[in-house]
Structures are given as C-alpha cells and as structure tokens.
A and B are shown apart, each in its own frame.
Chain A
Amino acid sequence: MDGQLNALWVLTQTGIGAHVPPPVFSVLSGIAALALLVFALTATRNMQRRPGRLQNLAEIIYEFFDNLAVSIVGEHGRKYVPLAGTVFLFILFCNLMGLIPPGIAPTASLNTTIALALIVIVYVQYEGIRARGVGGYLKHFARWGEVPIPLSPLMFVIEIVSELAKPVSLSIRLYANMFGKEQVTMALITALAMPIFKATFIPLPIQFPVMLLGLLVAFVQAFVFSILTLIYLSLATEHHDEHAEHAHAH
C-alpha cells in the first residue's frame, strides 16, 4: 500500500522543489538542447519547395523572428535571428519540461538562467564593440555628444550600473517565474491534493489551474527573454547616422 502511494506520489508531483541537485538541471537542459538539435536537423534535412509539416513549422518560427528582429533592430537585425530564435526555443523547451509530471523545468534553477543571460549579455557587448569600435563603445556609455560634457562621467557610471543590471534582471525574471510556478504547484499538491488522496482515495487535480497558468507563463517568458535580447542588441548597435539625424531634428 505504502509503495503504491509513493509511486503515485512520484507520478503526481510536477515540481520536486528546491532540493534538486544541480546536475539534474544540467542533464535536463542537455536533453532540451538535444531535442532542439534533432528538430532542427530533421526539419531542414530534406528541404522542399513545397514544405512538409516539420519544415513548415520551422519556417513559421523563423519568419516570425525575422519579422520581429527587423521591426525591433532594423534591417541589420536579420543576423540576430538565429540567436533570438534559439534562445526562445531552448527556453520554451526547458519551461515545458516542467509541465510533464515527473520532470522539472531546468529554467527553475538559477544556474541555467544565469548561463543564458551571460551568453546574451556578452554577445551584446561584443556586437556593440564591433558596431562602434572600442572608442565609440565607451563614448556610447558616456552618452558623448548627447549630454553636456561635465555630466558625461556621471552618465558613464550610471550606464555601467544599468548594463550590469541587465543580466541580473534577465536571469532572475526567468528563474523566479519558473521556480514560483513549481513551488505553487508543489504547495497545492502537498497541502491539499495528497491529504485528500490519502483520506478518500480520490485523486483530485487541484494543481491543474496552476499548470495551465504555467503553460502560458512558459510561452510568455521565453518570448520576453528573446525579445529583450533583440532590444539590448538594438540598443548596443544603433547606427551613428541616426543619432546625427536626431541632433539635426532638434
């Protein structure tokens, strides 16, 4: 009897909570990456002029991010589509893993989200230096030519701090969303569903509404992460001539 209860317990719980050893998250995110790789390879292996199902899906996703990148970054944003799209798909896969019963979302661990945020932010700095040169990159931080010269050192410090805050907010936003979902699901199961099941043997899916909400959150957070990636890239690589136009307009 107890063994059966324990087996059910494992099947019904969706988030194992805070006491999961970190390697579990690494393995799960590795599985997500592998699944994405398989999807990408099978979708593009035998490309046709009239696309099949998988190719169609891949094309829809790509076109969506292509439009998004062009509307946010501008015409030169096309080359950021692979990064933004990969980030979206990877985070989406990771988030959805938490909804399959014995699984837990790898993004419910700070290790995963900090790694993702660092990848994005380091790439943003690299693109900023490449678009403006080292001097222009530093000038951009000091808002050179946009504010009175005595204010530039102050702006430099403020901009550095806000640049450092970007990875922190990116990673904590994703982590706290997923972790919160897992915690609420877990709390509902342990506090309500399990006692009811033990008393009456009726398995009530009390955590179900939270998991529906989790489905929504999984999509929205993945989308937000990739859209913020594009916004940071567009801020870092804005062209000089646009600034000049602005100055003339005023």
Chain B
Amino acid sequence: MEVGTGLYLLGLALAVGLGLPIAVIGASLGQGRAIAGAMEGMARQPEMAGRIQTGMIIGLAFIESLVLFSFVIFFLLQGRLPTISGQ
C-alpha cells in the first residue's frame, strides 16, 4: 500500500471514529448548560414552567441539529471506508 493511500485511510478512519464523538461532547455540554438554566428558571418561577420548557426544547433542538449535521457527514464518510477482505 502506498504511503499516500495509507495516510488517506488513516485520516478517514480518524474522522469516522472521532468526528461524531467530538460533536457529541460539545453539544452535550451545551445542552447541559441549557437544561440547567431552564431548571433554575423553573424552580424560581414555577408558574412560568410551561413557557420555559417550550423555549428549552427549541434551544435543545437547535443545539442537537448541529450534532445531526455531523452525523450526516459521518454517514457520508463511512460510505467511503473500504471493506476489509481477509488480506
């Protein structure tokens, strides 16, 4: 195998393996902050819980959609991985 192909496959494997987890780490930290803020708000003003919850869900959906973009890219990259054929 040539060095160039090897490097390409290495990069591809790293991208497929690590791209999505990195996105998940970032987004889960962000979602955690959002939920913590919303919970605090609900505890302080229980009568606003409904509206805060709606806002929280919208915010979570926006954060989550970024992960899902990287999920789509993960699938595009995964399709380019070669299949292993016993040697």
B-binding residues in A (CB < 8 A): 68, 71, 169, 172-173, 176-177, 180, 220-221, 223-224, 227-228, 231
Contacts and interface: CB of A to CB of B under 8 A. Distances in A.
B69 A172 contact: yes
Contacts, number: 33
A228 B61 contact: yes
* Residue with the highest number of chain A CB atoms closer than 10 Å, among B61, B69, B72: B61
A172 B65 CA distance: 8
B58 interface: yes
Interface of B: 51, 54, 57-58, 61, 64-65, 68-69, 71-72
A71 B69 CA distance: 30
A220 B65 CA distance: 13
Contacts of B61: 173, 220-221, 224, 228
B58 A173 contact: no
A176 B72 CA distance: 7
Contact of B71 (A180, A223, A228): A180
A16 to B, nearest CB: 16
Contact of B68 (A71, A180, A223): A180
A200 to B, nearest CB: 27
B68 A176 contact: yes
Contacts of B54: 68, 227
A33 B36 CA distance: 38
B61 to A, nearest CB: 4
